[in-house]
């Protein structure tokens, strides 16, 4: 039997689901920004990490990276797709815990 570790979120955690990310859908752009200047918690150690989606498919962690557009320590706000650049008919969104 497998043991499943669960991370308990603090009562003040602000969960965001299916947030459409800002960025051009043109077959060239790979960078998508969390709207309204919001930042996300992205910490591999505590299990809170951004989950990115293209259309209805959850992206594998090898298909994107999470960045701090303002530099180190400014907060995670950018999802960079590494495997493809979505076309105009696509939709890029994310689930995350707001910082």
Question: pLDDT by residue (tens digit) across 14-32?
Answer: 999 999 999 999 999 999 9
Q: Is residue 8 part of a domain?
A: no
Average pLDDT of span 71-91 = 96
Mean pLDDT score across all residues of the chain: 89
- Which is more confident, 88 or 3? 88
- Asked whether residue 5 is assigned to any structural domain, the reply reads no
The answer to whether position 59 is within a domain reads yes
Q: Can you tell me which residue has the tokens 């709207």? A: 35
More confident call, 46 vs 66: 66
Does residue 3 fall inside a structural domain?
A: no
Structural domains in the chain (count): 1
Residue indicated by tokens 């495997």 = 83
The whole domain housing 23 covers 14-98
What band does 5 get if pLDDT is binned at 50, 70 and 90?
A: very low
Structure-block tokens of residue 9: 């979120």
Q: What is the mean pLDDT of residues 26-55?
A: 92
Rounded to the nearest 10°, the torsion over CA 15, 19, 85, 45 is: -10
Question: Residue 98 class from Cβ within 10 Å (0-12 exposed, 13-18 middle, 19+ buried)?
Answer: middle
Q: Please check the confidence at residue 85 and state whether its pLDDT lies above 70.
A: yes
Considering the entire predicted model, what is its pTM?
A: 0.84
């Amino acid at each position: 039997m497998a043991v499943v570790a669960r991370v308990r979120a603090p009562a003040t955690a602000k969960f965001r689901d299916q947030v459409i990310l800002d960025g051009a859908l043109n077959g060239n752009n790979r960078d998508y920004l969390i709207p309204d200047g919001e930042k996300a918690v992205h910490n591999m150690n505590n299990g809170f990490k951004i989950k990115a989606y293209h259309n209805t498919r959850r992206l594998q962690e090898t298909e994107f990276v999470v960045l701090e557009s303002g530099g180190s320590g400014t907060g995670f706000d950018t999802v960079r797709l590494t495997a493809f650049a979505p076309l105009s008919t696509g939709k890029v969104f994310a689930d995350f815990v707001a910082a």
